[in-house]
Amino acid sequence: MADVDVIRVKGGVRLAGEVGVVGAKNSALKLMAAALLAEGESVITNVPRITDIALMGEVLRRLGAEVAFEGDEVRINVPAVLHPEADYELVRRLRASICVLGPLLARCGRVRVAHPGGDAIGSRGLDMHVSGLAKMGADISGEHGFVVAEAPSGLHGAKISLDFPSVGATENLLMAAVLARGTTVIDNVAREPEIVDICQMLIAMGARITGAGTSELTVRGVDQLQPVRHASIGDRIVAGTWAFGAAMTRGDVTVRGVDPRCLEIALDKIQQGGGSVDYGPDWFRVRQADRPNAVDVRTLPFPGFATDLLPMAIGMAAVADGVSLITENIFDGRFMFAEELKRLGADIRIEGHHAMVRGRANLSSAEVSASDIRAGAGLVIAGLCGDGVTTVRAVHHIDRGYPDFVADLRALGVEVERAEAPADPEYGF
């Protein structure tokens, strides 16, 4: 087997210092897809240089767009005629690329997109995407692992109610609706800051959208959109990772580049755990003098506690004083992370979508493996609470969501290295 990259961290370190957060992965990827709705060159700034962004760039290139990265900017030049099929291999590697379904159908009248892959964190079906587009006049079928949608006469407005406030379904239906004839009303939509961000970009392009940030979006279709320059919002999940890292390690960390209102529930949990939180318009500071107190957490769609921060919440519970009940309501596979955290000595009992975590003053060190982006970051942070050196394998997952992760750790006082190691037959990599 080939060598793989690992991250090794020395435990017994408190995070201290200042760290900057760049653009949100979960926003920038969708903004890149939205650029397909207008012929010409759109520029998206504050884009994180991570693996997923590079993959999305290649997805757009194979659709016919010209894509160029310059610093934290991505320039997307969209032709008059797009290729309406999203490459199977790329979509399989990047689940977020399913968001090209809506804009391609709106622009081309036909689209063929592979069923997506992505993180191993549970079922994420396309039922709401498909049923919503069907209400807008699309004829949808499946063939050989692809979703095929056709609307030769164009899409039309409709009244759509989502069974669940799915971020992906909201984005696809929103992007399809902006060029549809008439008015589309989408009820029970996702309210995440990233949804508001894409609405703001679309409005700047000429779309007519009201209700961003609420549970109902009203979209009045227009004939065409114009290319635009737009800056992505800061990444609240990366910011939240450092917030919980400060709480877990009894540290003192200032995070800049994100609106703390996007993390209100998460920062409140840290305060409940005994941490001190100060904040301004685009920064916050977390200080934790003593061992955190146990707090209960349950994930919910925004403005609830973000499922992407669940590994960090479990990590804080693992070193807290007392017993915490952690409930996952979004993805049924998110607790895969907990099994690896047990290798570090965490006392966790899982029953269904609940995890009972009995905190310990310190964790031990071990070799563990990341199953997804946030699990990887969470395991590295948990390793700082160990008694030796923790090795985290499969760190290519971390690369998909955290630019300069090792450099940021060093800036916060961590003794850390990234190195090649022989593949482990236990994990298959």
Q: Which residues are part of the catalytic machinery?
A: 119
Distance CA 332, CA 123 (A): 7
| Residue among 282, 258, 260 at smallest CA distance from 271 | 260
Residue type, 335: F
Q: Tokens 């009820």 sit at which residue?
A: 187
399 is in an annotated binding site: no
- Specify the pairing of strand 208-210 against strand 159-161: unpaired
Distance CA 341, CA 325 (A): 16
Q: How many Cβ atoms sit within 10 Å of the Cβ of residue 108?
A: 19
* Residue 429: burial class (beta carbons within 10 Å; 0-12, 13-18, 19+): middle
Q: How many Cβ atoms sit within 10 Å of the Cβ of residue 420?
A: 9
User: What's phi and psi for 368, nearest 5 deg?
Assistant: -135, 170
**Which H/E stretch holds residue 45?**
strand 40-45
46 is in an annotated binding site: no
SS3 396: helix
Cis peptide bond upstream of 425, omega within 30: no
Distance CA 318, CA 340 (A): 12
Contacts 24+ apart (CB under 8 A), 80-83: 80/39, 82/36, 82/107, 82/108
**Which H/E stretch holds residue 89?**
helix 88-93
26 is in an annotated binding site: yes
Distance CA 129, CA 142 (A): 13
Q: How far is CA 173 from CA 104, 148, 223, 268, in A?
A: 12, 15, 17, 33
**Which H/E stretch holds residue 150?**
strand 146-150
Q: Are 347 and 360 in contact (CB under 8 A)?
A: yes
Residue type, 309: L
Residue ranges of the binding site for phosphoenolpyruvate? 25-26
Residue ranges of the binding site? 25-26, 95, 308, 330
Residue ranges of the binding site for UDP-N-acetyl-alpha-D-glucosamine? 95, 308, 330
